[in-house]
């Protein structure tokens, strides 16, 4: 009863948010500027919160890591704040703290980012530190080796948890030779092989201006901020001829057969992933697949949760995830169950997936997911930093920043036939990885 009430409350809030969004736009006040060197600037004034949030995004993610140097993008990002020609790592931290500013770096499969957040009064000083990091990082040997050790430990620790070990095994089996098989942490051999000079050179590749989007949202005056950004980035140049070279992007072909892997670990429970190919970000089937995933395994009202866990008691946990990427993507189902229930639970998962191919979904079910997605989109992007991030991401990944508003209607045209067609196209041959005691 409690679960039903929570589900109803979520739907009511989402529906209210969707109605409120009818006359709402994230992007109506966004100003876009492209500098002569190709760097893109997005500005959105938002005086409602006395914070300025800046996201600087590069279209270079870990998928470009050179072969044998997996983890280069991640390690480069980690070392940006390890010291510059003007500041030590400790001085960077102390200065930002004294300004009340927050700065962090990130590396993902398809992009990388540096995020800065400060008050209007301390923004120029905080931005000066950011530019020092981006233009004068020296990658000190001691700090570089420290970050390498921390990255190696983080990667090694993933395999200590059965769930993470399951995901790592699944990615490797699913993607084969494609670089998506690695996490952004890279590989043990890759992290060991990267030199500080590799990272210093790779920064030049990552931060070529034609690959950069700078998005700023907050309490500022665009007429004052734009000249500062233009002057700061005008000297950045394109062209990268150093080593290492980015990995060539090879075509990915999913095998026309089911594949299974069993890993034996000293656990009491069994853990299972069943995954299928799925449409990439720009594929016309991506909206239908997102709806399928919403019905299949998102939340306590999903089919996996109700059919496999609640009604049949075949799993402790049953969820799905649409792992959407710019390149080859996948939809996976994760189960935690008793070893004796593995085969029954697996059969039920396969049956639930094939229901989409045979039956599609009703208009009401599709509408339910559309409302949920719109509501979540609004609720999750209330802060300046979240808005700066989503605007930059939409722009740097190729959709254009207007996509942030277009998303509100992304699921409106999905039909029952779209659901059937997508399921029939993608749910043919699965990759299964099982951890058993």
pLDDT 10s digit of each residue in the chain, 437 long? 344 443 444 444 444 444 444 567 899 999 999 999 999 999 999 998 899 999 999 999 999 999 999 999 999 999 999 999 999 999 999 999 999 999 999 999 999 999 999 999 999 999 999 999 999 999 999 999 999 999 999 999 988 889 999 999 999 999 999 999 999 999 999 999 999 999 999 999 999 999 999 999 999 999 999 999 999 999 999 999 999 999 998 889 999 999 999 999 999 999 999 999 999 998 999 999 999 999 999 988 999 999 999 999 999 999 999 999 999 999 999 999 999 999 999 999 999 999 999 999 999 999 999 999 999 999 988 899 999 999 999 999 999 999 999 998 999 899 999 999 999 999 999 999 999 99
195: Cβ contacts below 8 Å, ≥ 6 apart:
none
Edge-first strand listing for the sheet containing 31-34: 31-34, 40-45, 212-218, 52-58, 112-118, 102-107
The DSSP call for residue 322 is E
What phi and psi values does residue 281 have, to the nearest 5 degrees? -50, -45
* Dist CA 94 CA 83 (whole Å): 12
Task: Please say whether the beta carbons of 416 and 363 come within 8 A.
Answer: yes
Question: Considering the domain 252-436 in this protein, what is its CATH number?
Answer: 3.30.830.10
Per the omega criterion (within 30 degrees of 0), is the bond before 244 cis? yes
At which residue do the structure tokens 């866990």 appear? Answer: 309
Would you say 52 and 118 are in contact if contact means Cβ atoms under 8 Å apart?
A: yes
Give the separation between CA 189 and CA 182, rounded to whole angstroms: 12
The pLDDT, as a whole number, for residue 2 is 40
Q: Give residue for tokens 């069993």.
A: 262
Third-level CATH fold of 31-233: Cytochrome Bc1 Complex; Chain A, domain 1 (3.30.830)
Name 210's Cβ contacts closer than 8 Å, sequence gap at least 6.
37, 38, 39, 238
Could you list the beta-strand ranges (E) of 141-267.
212-218, 259-264
What stretch(es) of the chain map to CATH 3.30.830.10? 31-233, 252-436
Identify the pLDDT of residue 360: 97
Rounded to a whole number of angstroms, the distance between the first and last alpha carbons of the chain is 35
Can you give the pLDDT at residue 251?
86
**Segment holding 318, helix H or strand E:** strand 317-323
Q: What is the per-residue pLDDT for 20?
A: 46
DSSP conformation letters of 266-301: S-SSEEEEEEEEE--TTSTTHHHHHHHHHHHHSSTT
Q: Which residues pair with 436 in a beta bridge?
A: 264
In the numeric block, which tokens belong to residue 282? 């720009």
């Amino acid at each position: 009863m409690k679960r039903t009430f929570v589900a109803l409350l979520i739907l009511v809030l989402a529906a209210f948010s969707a109605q409120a969004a009818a006359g709402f736009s994230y992007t109506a006040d966004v100003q876009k500027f492209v500098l002569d060197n190709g760097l893109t600037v997005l500005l959105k004034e938002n005086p409602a919160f006395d914070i300025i949030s800046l996201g600087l995004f590069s279209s270079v993610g870990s998928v470009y890591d050179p072969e044998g140097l997996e983890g280069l993008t991640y390690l480069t990002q980690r070392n940006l704040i390890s010291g510059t020609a003007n500041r030590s790592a400790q001085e960077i931290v102390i200065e930002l703290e004294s300004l009340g500013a927050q700065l962090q770096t990130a590396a993902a499969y398809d992009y990388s980012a540096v995020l800065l957040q400060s008050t209007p009064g301390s923004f120029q000083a905080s931005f000066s530190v950011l530019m020092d990091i981006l233009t004068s990082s020296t990658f000190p040997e001691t700090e570089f080796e420290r970050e390498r050790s921390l990255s190696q430990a983080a990667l090694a620790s993933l395999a200590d948890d059965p769930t993470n070990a399951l995901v790592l095994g699944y990615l490797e089996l699913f993607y084969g030779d494609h670089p998506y098989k690695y996490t952004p942490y890279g590989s043990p051999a890759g992290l060991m092989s990267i030199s500080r000079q590799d990272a210093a050179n790779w920064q030049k590749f990552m931060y070529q201006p034609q690959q950069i989007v700078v998005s700023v949202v907050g309490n500022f005056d665009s007429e004052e901020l734009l000249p500062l950004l233009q002057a700061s980035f005008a000297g950045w140049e394109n062209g990268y001829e150093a080593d290492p070279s980015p990995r060539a992007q090879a075509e990915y072909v999913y095998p026309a057969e089911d594949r299974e892997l069993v890993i034996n670990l000293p656990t009491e429970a069994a853990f299972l992933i069943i995954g299928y190919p799925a449409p990439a970000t720009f594929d016309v089937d991506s909206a239908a697949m997102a709806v399928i995933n919403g019905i299949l395994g998102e939340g306590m009202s999903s089919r996996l949760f109700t059919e496999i866990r609640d009604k049949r008691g075949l799993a402790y946990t049953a969820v799905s995830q649409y792992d959407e990427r710019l390149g080859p993507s996948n939809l996976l189902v994760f189960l935690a169950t008793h070893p004796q229930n593995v085969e029954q639970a697996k059969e039920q998962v396969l049956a639930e997936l094939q229901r989409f191919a045979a039956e599609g979904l009703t208009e009401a079910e599709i509408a339910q997911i559309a409302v949920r997605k719109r509501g979540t989109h609004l609720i999750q992007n209330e802060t300046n930093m979240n808005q700066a991030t989503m605007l930059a991401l939409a722009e740097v990944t190729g959709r254009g920043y207007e996509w942030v508003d277009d998303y509100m209607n992304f699921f409106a045209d999905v039909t029952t036939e779209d659901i059937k067609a997508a399921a029939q196209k993608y749910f043919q041959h699965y990759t299964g990885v099982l951890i058993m005691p």
